[in-house]
Amino acid sequence: MAISPPENRVWWNEPLHKPEIVWITVAFVWGLVMFGAMIYWHIEGEQNLSNETYRISPEAFAERTEAMTEQYTVREEGTTEIPVVHPPPGSDVYMLSRLWEWWPILELEKDQSYRLHLSSVDWQHGFSLQPTNINIQVHPNYEMVLTITPNEAGEFSVVCNEFCGIGHHTMLGKIFVVE
């Protein structure tokens, strides 16, 4: 029940008043501006990644990651001896997330392109490459593929930015970029 019900029960046939037409027009034009801005920033703003997404079982993704790791391991790092892989430029590289690690450590070459495949074998995780602005949600059963071309050498941290449980704060990975 309305506070002041319309005089005519078929209210949608009533003519619009001038202020209503002005506000509807302003809202419509603003919606078009925002839609155009999203397209512009995607193409020119270099903020959003163009990526591909495929369905894949966690087991199949783990097999692909392990095969790449076996083929391109150059050394191991840390007390847990995480493999460091150095795949050839232009190749597909795989990094999987699982409670509470990113695996393996990648070593990529500066100014070379790679197709980075990301997926989870257990829960939803977040891939945040620091200090760059690459943020991807990583889900089990989905493979996110993005083309990356590192343009500066150094050590980059991979941080999980989706809460994934009690060890979430320890879920870190690395990507080395060498010249």
Domain holding 22, by residue range, is: 1-48
State which H helix or E strand residue 81 sits in: none
Maximum Cα–Cα distance for the chain, whole Å?
80
Distance, in Å, from the CA atom of 73 to the CA atom of 64, rounded to the nearest integer, reads 14
Do 94 and 120 have their domain in common? yes
Give the residue-averaged pLDDT of 107-123: 95
How confident is residue 47, by pLDDT bands cut at 50, 70 and 90?
A: low
What confidence score (pLDDT) does residue 7 get? 72
CATH number for the domain spanning 107: value is 2.60.40.420
What confidence score (pLDDT) does residue 25 get? 96
Q: Total domain count for the chain?
A: 2
Q: Is residue 122's pLDDT more than 90?
A: yes
- Cβ atoms < 10 Å from Cβ of 85: 21
What confidence score (pLDDT) does residue 2 get? 60
What confidence score (pLDDT) does residue 135 get? 87
Do 104 and 161 have their domain in common? yes
Q: Is residue 28's pLDDT more than 70?
A: yes
Q: Is residue 1's pLDDT more than 60?
A: no
Do 38 and 69 have their domain in common? no
Q: Is residue 132's pLDDT more than 70?
A: yes
DSSP 111-132: T--EEEEEEESSS-EEEEEETT
Q: Does the reported pTM lie above 0.95?
A: no
Indicate the residue type of 27: A
Asked whether the beta carbons of 130 and 151 are under 8 A apart, the reply is no
In 3-state terms, what secondary structure has residue 104? coil
What confidence score (pLDDT) does residue 44 get? 79
Q: Would you state the structure tokens that stand for residue 118, as one six-digit string?
A: 């990301």
